[in-house]
Every structure is written in C-alpha cells, then in structure tokens.
Amino acid sequence: MPNIAPQSKDTPKVAIQETDYLIIGAGAVGLAFADTLIDEDPDCHITFVDKHAKPGGHWNDAYSFVALHQPSAFYGVNSMEFPSEQIDTHGPNAGFSALASGPEISAYFEKVMNMRLLPTGRVAYHHLSEFKARDEDGIAHVASTLSGEQTQIKVRRKLVDGTFYQTSVPSTHKRNFDIAEGVDVVAPGELPDLWKTPDSLPEHYVILGAGKTAMDAGIWLLGAGVDPANITWVRPRESWLWNRAYIQPGADFFEAVIGNQMAQLKAAETAQSGEELMRILGESGHYLRIDPEVEPEMFHFAVISEGEIERLRRIKNVVRKGRVQSITRGEMELQEGTHTVPGNTLYVDCTARAVPFSVAANGEQPLFEDGLITLQPLHVPLVTLSAAVAAFLEAHFDTDEERNALAIPGPLTDTPATYPHAFAVTMLNRSNWSQNPKIAPFLTRSRLDPSGPTMAKMAAEGDTRLAIMGEFAQLAVKAAPNLRKLAAKARKIHENT
C-alpha cells in the first residue's frame, strides 16, 4: 500500500468529500468486496479510487486471448453471474464449465460498476485517479491523473487496500532483460495483429517464460497453425498445474471435486514435503505437468486441462538454461549459457510475474487493523471469494479481533515446497467458517464459493452422495498433524524469501 504521509501545508485546499469506506483499486478484489458490503451493510457509503480508466484492474491491460483459467461460475462478484456459464462443447475445455475471455471479464466488471454498484446511489467512483496518502486526520488525498485536480476524501470508517496483489501483466510490466537493436520482442497481446503483416511474418517464434501466460501464448500459436518445430520455449522452471477436471462447479462434478480434495488430504497425511505431496497428486492425475520427465520447481495455482497439456507437449524445442538475460539477433544469453535461434525470430515476452511472490508470500499483515482493511487471500487462491468473505466479516462482527480470528491471511506461494503453508491456512479458515453460525449460511448462498451453494442444493434435495462428507471430515482430522508440520516447514521458507 502507498505510504501514509502527513498532509503538506502547501496542499491547495479543495472541497472535502466524505465516505465510509475508501477502496483503493476497482479491480476484481475491490469490486468483490464492495459488492458484498453494499448488501450486508445497507447504510454504508463506498468510494473507489482507481488509476485505470475502467473498472476491472489488470484485465483492462490483458492480452486479447486471455481467459480465466478457473470456471467463470465462481469468479467475479457474488451478486452477478457471468453471461456464459455453460458447459463448453469444443476445444480443450470441452465438457467443462466455461472460462470467460478477457473481453467478457472487462465487460462484466464494467457492468458490476455501472449497473449494480453506482445505481445504488451509495457508491462513488474516481477513475483515472491515484490514491496518494491518508493524513493524520483521516483525509485521503486523491489526484486525477489527467487534470492533476486534487480531491480530499474524509474516510469515516476504513481505508480498504485492494492493491495487495500488485498484479503485473505483460503489456505493463518492465522487462528485466536487454534487447539489442533489430530484435523483435512483443507482448502476447500483439500476436493477433500478425495478420496485418502477411509479407513480413517471422520465421521462428520464441516464447519467454514458464507461467500460464506462456502456456496461453503457446496454445495460441499452435491454434494459429504455427508448426511446433518453429517454436522455441524458454522454460526456466517446470510447473505443477491443477487439473481442471477436478476444479468444477455444480452437482455433476461433485464426486470429482470431493475426490480431489480427499486425495489432497490423503497425500498431506503422509508426505514429508510439499514436493512429495505434489508428486503423489501428480501420479494420481490430480496435478499435471507438461514434461513428465522434469521435476517441477514452480507452483502458481494455475489450472489447466489435459487437452491443453497435450497441445503444449507438441512444442519440443524447450530451453532450460535459466532466465533470459539479453537477446542479440540470432542469440539469447541465458543464466546458464547461450542458445542460438534463426535471425528472423519473434520473441513473445511472457516473463511478467502475475503476482510478485516476494510481496504476497508472507501473509503476516493482519486483514483488519485500526481503520485499514488489507484484502488478502483467505481461501487460497480464490481472491474474489476471500474479498467477499472479508466484507461479510466487516459488516457482521464487532471487533477486529473477532474478524481476524476468522481471516488468517494465506500466502500465494511460488514453489511446491511452500504450498503446504497456503493449504493449511485455507483448511484452517474453512474449518472455522464451517463452524461459524454467521459465515456458514453466507457461504451456502455465495456463488464465489465453489462448493457452498452446490452442497446446500444437494442437501435440500436429499442427495445421498453427500454421505461421503463424513469420510472427508475424518480424513481432514487424520491429515491435520502432518499438514501442520509441512506448513511449518513451508512457512520457514516463506519467511526467508
């Protein structure tokens, strides 16, 4: 969060506006928080300040073929479904719940702001505006980016920091490798423009980066008909990925989803490390990796289908010599050596880290502090569900002590070794929520909770498949002691990050 500096005496005086909650950031997280708070606290007034021209945060800057990697059915805000939540019939996601595309996500968040929040008359939105600081009198200082006009906003209750994740995407991130003159490097968002220059297409493509964006770029190039032999992929680390077959909403997928959670608990009962936990789940197919011969050193909660994995395995030119340091025409300098490529190569820069893990790793900052809410993951990695739960806690509990007891921040982890910390925090929060007479009913009606409404509906219909939850509860108890040990080990690594 930006530093909270005292107001300068030279600041020109302007009219003071007032609000109960000032949310910094109208991205997915700030919007999910506001959407729940506006219903749960019918008296409150909310003001958003955001640097972007439109709501939706980083989705405004995403590459055109970006999509959610989790089903749309449990993303966004509680009050509004995505227009398309059907089962996909074709492509690598066939048979599974739809994944909203980037433009659909942007349109969705615009609708949340313009057709849901602003019409309540209890929400104000300062777009193209930067939150600068809150002074000792609780006045927030906001500057309009284009006009420079200053606004002062008296925050009656709390400042809400919706910028914790510091999401970075290819089109806005700062490259940390050098490029010589004559080398063509593009962000993935520029690939669809290649049709405009049919006479000067590249001979070869190099994808830089090992994360989900790089995977999307690979699938896009293959889908566009590029011969896999003409693609080189610089993949410094291999990643474990969640198999999307087990991350699905609704009763039709209940057995698969619960089976996956039970497999995780069984693995957590015996594994001696996060790496071993993932190896076990990799063998059972709950976790996937592109190259089965390489031990993954990365885990960013990315979700993928087996169809996508199959496509990506067609790219055989994989360079594993660490991160790229510099590129000259025909040659890449990497951390562990050089690699030559044809002179007429187009580099696709997918090296932006969606979330800087050094920042989001520790989970040490309380969610609720005096006059400040810092939105962080509670059910890792479901950031919009976590924000909605935070809003519910704010509205229905009296003290920050009570709220924080139900809102232990979990880290967004970077590696298999650190994952058990996030896993344990999620289990702990979920267990506390399930026993809380206020939160448990909220979750049964929260569309952002992948299992709450499904299980409530199944219970209402007397679905006998729910009997397995008894076994689930026993497994959770059995796994708890070893999971705590794994989590403590993982937490130590986080602390030294």
Polymer length in residues for the chain: 497
93 is a site residue for ligand FAD (CB under 6 A): no
CA distances from 483 to 264, 271, 469, 473, 491 (A): 10, 9, 19, 15, 12
- Which of 33, 35, 38, 58 is the binder for ligand FAD (CB under 6 A)? 58
163 or 351: whose CB is closer to ligand FAD? 163
52 is a site residue for ligand FAD (CB under 6 A): yes
163 is a site residue for ligand FAD (CB under 6 A): yes
Whole-number minimum distance, CB 101 to ligand FAD, in Å? 11
**Distance (Å, rounded) from C-alpha 318 to C-alpha 311?**
14
162 is a site residue for ligand FAD (CB under 6 A): yes
24 is a site residue for ligand FAD (CB under 6 A): yes
187 or 424: whose CB is closer to ligand FAD? 187
237 is a site residue for ligand FAD (CB under 6 A): no
Whole-number minimum distance, CB 147 to ligand FAD, in Å? 15
86 or 325: whose CB is closer to ligand FAD? 86
Which span (66-74, 176-184, 227-235, 481-489) binds ligand FAD, by CB under 6 A?
A: 66-74
Count of residues that interact with ligand FAD, criterion CB under 6 A: 32
296 is a site residue for ligand FAD (CB under 6 A): no
26 or 268: whose CB is closer to ligand FAD? 26
Whole-number minimum distance, CB 493 to ligand FAD, in Å? 22
41 is a site residue for ligand FAD (CB under 6 A): no
Whole-number minimum distance, CB 477 to ligand FAD, in Å? 29
- Count of CB atoms situated within 10 Å of the CB of 336: 11
Whole-number minimum distance, CB 142 to ligand FAD, in Å? 8
* 339-368 positions binding ligand FAD, by CB under 6 A: 354
Which span (51-59, 281-289, 307-315, 444-452) binds ligand FAD, by CB under 6 A?
A: 51-59
What interhelical angle do 254-270 and 468-495 show, nearest 10? 50
Whole-number minimum distance, CB 203 to ligand FAD, in Å? 28
47 is a site residue for ligand FAD (CB under 6 A): no
Distance of CA 121 to the CA centre of its chain: 30
Residues 167-196, one symbol each (x = binds ligand FAD by CB under 6 A, - = not), give: x-x---------------------------
Whole-number minimum distance, CB 28 to ligand FAD, in Å? 4
Whole-number minimum distance, CB 89 to ligand FAD, in Å? 20
104 or 204: whose CB is closer to ligand FAD? 104
Contacts of 79 (CB under 8 A, 6+ apart): 35, 39, 112, 116
131 is a site residue for ligand FAD (CB under 6 A): yes
Whole-number minimum distance, CB 385 to ligand FAD, in Å? 8
209 is a site residue for ligand FAD (CB under 6 A): no
* 303-322 positions binding ligand FAD, by CB under 6 A: none
> Contact 77/112 with Cβ under 8 angstroms?
yes
Burial class for 38, CB neighbours closer than 10 Å (0-12, 13-18, 19+): buried
Which span (27-35, 273-281, 423-431, 450-458) binds ligand FAD, by CB under 6 A?
A: 27-35
Residues forming the site for ligand FAD (CB under 6 A): 2, 24-30, 49-52, 57-58, 62, 66, 68-70, 75, 130-131, 162-163, 165, 167, 169, 213, 354, 381-383
